[in-house]
């Protein structure tokens, strides 16, 4: 099972490339990238991303919980997603 933060981040970036091919050309492919402003993630893609993350990491990754937890939607970054996955992995042990 993958636990390393760097490895989780790399895998998430790979999955985001698949789910959201139309990335903001000015955004870097990094933990700081915004899911909304840079990956243009919409509600359908949230569901698709949740499912792919669950299958990749073999853990429940219900992204609406992450979305509901932030005060400002701009806090929804790739890094925040990686932390969310890592925390779910830790809880599942």
Which residues contact another protein (rule: CB under 8 A)?
Answer: 20-22, 24, 35-36, 40-48, 50-51, 54, 62-65, 67-68, 70-73, 76
Contacts of 38 (CB under 8 A, 6+ apart): 23, 24, 27
Q: Pick the closer one to another protein by CB: 7 or 58.
A: 58
Written as six digits, the tokens of 14 are 């790979």
Q: Pick the closer one to another protein by CB: 11 or 45.
A: 45
Burial grade of 74 (CB within 10 A; 0-12, 13-18, 19 or more): exposed
- CB of residue 4 vs another protein: minimum separation in angstroms? 26
């Amino acid at each position: 099972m993958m636990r390393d933060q760097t490895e989780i981040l790399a895998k998430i970036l790979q999955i985001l490339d698949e789910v959201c091919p139309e990335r903001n050309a000015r955004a870097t492919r990094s933990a700081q990238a915004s899911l909304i402003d840079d990956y243009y993630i919409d509600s359908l893609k949230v569901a698709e991303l949740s499912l792919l993350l669950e299958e990749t990491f073999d853990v429940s990754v219900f992204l609406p919980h992450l979305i509901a937890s932030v005060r400002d939607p701009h806090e929804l970054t790739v890094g925040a997603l990686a932390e969310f996955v890592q925390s779910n992995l830790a809880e599942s042990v």
